[in-house]
Amino acid sequence: MRCKACDYDLWHCTGRKCPECGSQFTLAEYEFEKNSILFHCPHCDHGVEGYGEAGKPFMSLTQCAVCGLEVNHETFIIRPKPGTDVSSFGSLLPIRLKNGNWFARYFSTVWLIMTRPQTAISRVPVQEPLLVAWKFMLTSLLITAVAWILPTAFFFVVGSITSSSISDTLVVLAFSLLQFFIVFSLVALFAISWALLAHVLLQITGGSTFTIRRTVQAVLYGGATSIVGIVPCLGSIASFIWWIIATTNMITRGQRVSGGRASFATLLGSISFFIFVCGGYVLLIIAVTAPLAATARARAAVRQQQIQQQQQPELESPKEELLIE
C-alpha cells in the first residue's frame, strides 16, 4: 500500500494523509487480498480481518468489538498479517490481478492507460522490474501488428495465387513477414530511444524524482495505446498521438515534474526519434522493394518480347502471299 503521489509506504499510518508528501488518500483507492490484511481500531489497536469486498472489512462495521468506540474505513490503521507479501498491494493494474480472464484484464489495463494514465502509472511500483513493462508493451505491439498486417498479407497472398506463380506468392508472403518484424523491431527501438532522450531532457531542465527506470516505465506502459492502430486509415496516427499524451501524463505523475517539463521532454524526444525511425524504415523498404520491382520489370519486358515474336510471323505471312502471286 503505497502513496499514489510519492510512492511512500502507507502501512501503519494513522489518518489518511501521507506523512511524506501530505497528499490525502482514502481506503477506497486500494484493493487487498482477502484475509491478508488486519484493520486496527485507532483507539485500542484491535485488528479485524478483511472479509468484505476488495479484502476490506464489511461496511456495516461501525463499532469496535473490543472498546466499543466508533470505527470506519477511513479511521482504521492498516497493517499486513505477519509473513504476507504486500509489496504491491493496493497499487495493482488490472492485468496484475488474479480474478477474471486474461483478455478482460488486459483490455481493462489498456483502457485505464488510455483514459487515466496518471492513475495507471501510480499503480506501477517504482521498483518493478522493467521486464514486466517490456512484456506488456510487446504484447500490445504483437496484438496490434497481427491485427494490422495479417489481413493485408492475406489479400496479397490471395491475389498472388490467382494471378501469379507460386514463387511470386512466396515472395509476397516473405515480404509481409519481413515487414511484420521490421515494424515490431523499430517500434521497440523507438520506445527505448525515446525514453532515454526524454530522461536526459528531464535532467537538463531540472532533474526528476526517480531514476530512468520510471521514465522507461512510463514510455513502455504508454505504448499500450498502439492498440488504436488496429483502426484503418487514421489508427496509426491516432495511436502515436495518444502514446505521446499518455506518456506525458505518466511522466508528470511518475517523476513528480510539471506538465510543461514533461511535455517538452516527451514531445522533443518523440518527434526526433520518430523522424529518425520513420526515415530509416522508408529507406529499408525502398532497399527491399527495389530488387523486387526490377525483377518484375524484367519479367514484363521478357513477356512483351515474347508477344512481339509471336506476332511477327503473322505480320510477315501476307507479304509472302503477295510475292507468290
Chain segment 58-70, per-residue pLDDT in tens:
777 788 888 888 8
User: Whole-angstrom Cα distance, residue 27 to residue 293?
Assistant: 64
Q: What is the mean pLDDT of residues 295-301?
A: 75
Among 39-48, 82-91, 98-107, 146-155, name the one with the lowest average pLDDT. Answer: 82-91
Work out the angle between the directed axes of helices 102-115 and 130-163 (0-180°, nearest 10). Answer: 100
As beta bridge partners, residue 260 has none
Closest to 113 in 3D by CA, of 272, 295, 242: 242
11, 80 Cβ separation under 8 angstroms: yes
- Range with the poorest average pLDDT among 123-127, 204-208, 311-315: 311-315
Kindly state the average pLDDT of the residues 239-268.
90
Name the 3-class secondary structure at 19.
Answer: coil
The pLDDT, as a whole number, for residue 109 is 93
Read off the pLDDT band of 111 (50, 70, 90): very high
pLDDT tens readout for residues 132-178: 999 999 899 888 877 776 666 666 656 555 555 556 656 666 766 77
Query: Which residues 6+ apart lie within 8 Å of 99 measured at CB?
Result: none
Which of 191-205, 210-224, 301-315 has the lowest average pLDDT?
A: 301-315
Per-residue model confidence (pLDDT) at position 322: 47
Domain boundaries, the chain: 1-91, 112-302
**pLDDT score at 277:** 60
Report the pLDDT value the prediction gives residue 127, as an integer from 0 to 100.
78
- Pairwise CA distance, residues 198 & 219, whole Å: 9
According to the model, what pLDDT value does residue 136 have?
94
Q: Which residue has the higher pLDDT, 118 or 61?
A: 118
Element (H, E) at 300: helix 259-324
**Cα–Cα distance for residue pair 253/214, rounded to 1 Å:** 10
Burial 266-291 (b: 16+ CB within 10 A, else e): beebbeebeeebeeebeeeeeeeeee
Cα→Cα distances 18→15, 190, 250, Å: 9, 37, 21
Strand order in the sheet with 77-80: 47-49, 37-40, 77-80
- Average pLDDT of the chain to the nearest whole number: 79
- Which tens digit of pLDDT belongs to each residue from 205-237? 998 888 899 999 999 999 999 888 888 778 778
Is the pTM of the predicted complex or chain greater than 0.85? Answer: no
Pairing of strands 47-49, 77-80: unpaired
Confidence band of 271 (pLDDT split at 50, 70, 90): confident
Confidence check: pLDDT of 314 > 70: no
pLDDT of residue 173: 66
22: CB partners within 8 A, 6+ apart: none
Mean pLDDT comparison of 49-53, 208-212, 268-272, highest-scoring range:
208-212
Mean pLDDT calculated for residue range 33-39: 78
Task: Evaluate if residue 315 carries a pLDDT over 60.
Answer: no
Given this model, what pLDDT does residue 217 score? Answer: 94
